[in-house]
Amino acid sequence: MYFQGKVNGTLIPKILLLVLGLLPVTRASAQPCLKCPPNAQGVAIGASGPSVFAIQNGQTNNVSGSTVGACNQLNLFATVAYSPNGADAEGNPEVGAGFTGGTGYIILPDGTAVDVTPADMATTLVGPPGGPTSGCLGAVLVKPMNNLTYTLTAADIAAGGALFTFEYTNGVFLLPDGDGVCRSKFSFSLQQTVAIAPPATCTVTPANQVCPGGSACFTVTPTGTGPFTINWTGPNGFTAGNTNTICINNVQAANAGFYVAHVVDQFGCTTMGQTTLVVVSPRFTNLMLADSLLILSGGGGVSNGTYTVISTTNVATPLPLWVPIFTNNFDANGQFNFTNPFDPSASQRYYRLLLP
């Protein structure tokens, strides 16, 4: 955005400002114009100085107007610059001796104003370099403000976006009036926004209880902004690469524990979810016959976990053909008992515990 006009009939320089924020401050009402010779204000300057206004998130140079991650830290950059560009809207040459002083503020989303004015701003001339007759001695085309680092807050994330304003005020044009004093001032501001992606989350299912030699699989379901990178860790140095589902085969006691999915979203923001693998060895430890009742009891099960007693008259019967006859839950200590009518005339009968 450009600022241009005339003061006392003299065309003032065209100033390109890209900004985030400004609060008015009191400056001296006038100052001598000592930096540039009078005829420097009547010469068209051909060079153009770049201005910069950017918000960076550490991954991308400029994310102004774009989407960032909830975990991203933002770096806020602002400059003021002298930028003549050949001619004004009426075709008149753009001329001028630049400006000096002024104050810059960054206004944060919560309204806090942070002064980003460089310590030497009051003595810096932003204008066409040159001299002694064609420009301003000691001038610079671009003057950076102090950089500011900003961490997104919970309120920013909940709102889904953040608005920043750079305000620059009380810059003094070096265009003398009839008394040879510079009194013409200007202020300018511009806003920039970033959208904030929802934080990544994930769930890992299911929790598994498995007998030794069995298999267990876990699946992570991430939400947020993909693509996602997924890595798994688990007991005894277990790791797995970028996959949503892992399976542990021939489970042994060493495989028991927590399995954690580490998820990274498009913006480098991380989340994690976990579930457990319990390796159990429930077994019958006691048998009693009471008249026509068979009473079986045992332990080693999962606290409050489910079990099923299955039975057959031939131990060689394939497991899928064993008949379920009783389903219940282990108690809090993994203990269980089972009572079933018993046929004394049966030559043999076999029982097993089956876990989900």
pLDDT for 133 equals 62
Whether residue 44 is predicted with pLDDT greater than 50 in this model: the reply is no
What does the alpha-carbon distance between residue 164 and residue 106 come to, in Å, rounded to a whole number? 7
pLDDT tens-digit map of 306-317: 889 999 989 999
Whether residue 92 is predicted with pLDDT greater than 90 in this model: the reply is no
Q: Which residue has the tokens 């026509």?
A: 292
Whether residue 2 is predicted with pLDDT greater than 70 in this model: the reply is no
Q: Which two tokens stand for residue 213?
A: 């030699």
Pick the residue with more confidence: 344 or 29? 344
pLDDT tens-digit map of 183-208: 777 788 888 889 999 999 999 999 88
Pick the residue with more confidence: 94 or 251? 251
pLDDT for 305 equals 84
Q: Which residue has the tokens 């909940």?
A: 158
Whether residue 49 is predicted with pLDDT greater than 70 in this model: the reply is no
Q: What is the rounded end-to-end Cα distance, in angstroms, of the chain?
A: 68
pLDDT for 41 equals 38
Other beta carbons within 10 angstroms of residue 72's beta carbon come to 24
Domain 201-279 belongs in CATH node 2.60.40.10 = yes
Whether residue 95 is predicted with pLDDT greater than 70 in this model: the reply is no
Whether residue 175 is predicted with pLDDT greater than 70 in this model: the reply is no
pLDDT for 132 equals 62
Q: What is the mean predicted confidence (pLDDT) over 271-297?
A: 89
pLDDT for 134 equals 63
Question: Dihedral of CA 108/73/67/76: which sign?
Answer: positive
Whether residue 155 is predicted with pLDDT greater than 80 in this model: the reply is yes
pLDDT tens-digit map of 103-128: 999 999 999 999 999 999 999 988 87
Q: What is the mean predicted confidence (pLDDT) over 148-165?
A: 94
Phi and psi angles of residue 158, each rounded to the nearest 5 degrees, phi first: -65, -35
Q: What pTM did the predictor assign?
A: 0.69
Query: Can you spell out the DSSP letters for 81-124?
Result: EE---SB-TTSPBPB---EEEEEEEEE-TTS-EEE---TTGGG-
258-274 CB burial, b ≥16 within 10 A, e <16: ebbbbbbbbbebebbbb
Q: Which residue has the tokens 């153009």?
A: 48
Q: How confident is the model at residue 97 (pLDDT cuts 50, 70, 90)?
A: low
What does the alpha-carbon distance between residue 352 and residue 228 come to, in Å, rounded to a whole number? 44
Which contiguous run of DSSP H or E holds residue 135? none
pLDDT tens-digit map of 12-28: 343 333 333 322 333 33
Pick the residue with more confidence: 227 or 26? 227
Looking at the DSSP bridge assignments, the partners of residue 230 are: 263
What does the alpha-carbon distance between residue 270 and residue 266 come to, in Å, rounded to a whole number? 10
Whether residue 228 is predicted with pLDDT greater than 70 in this model: the reply is yes
Q: How confident is the model at residue 100 (pLDDT cuts 50, 70, 90)?
A: confident
Q: Give the start-to-end residue ranges of the domains of the chain.
A: 2-196, 201-279, 283-354
151: amino acid identity, one letter: T
Task: Work out the angle at residue 187's Cα, subtended by the Cα atoms of residues 10 and 156, and round it to the nearest 5 degrees.
Answer: 155
Q: How confident is the model at residue 346 (pLDDT cuts 50, 70, 90)?
A: confident
pLDDT tens-digit map of 206-218: 988 888 888 999 9
Q: How confident is the model at residue 246 (pLDDT cuts 50, 70, 90)?
A: very high
- Residue 306's nearest CA partner among 284, 274, 336, 340 is 336
Percentage with pLDDT > 70 across the chain:
77
Q: What is the mean predicted confidence (pLDDT) over 228-252?
A: 96
Task: Say yes or no: do domains 201-279 and 283-354 share a fold.
Answer: yes
Fold of 283-354: Immunoglobulin-like (2.60.40)
pLDDT for 324 equals 94
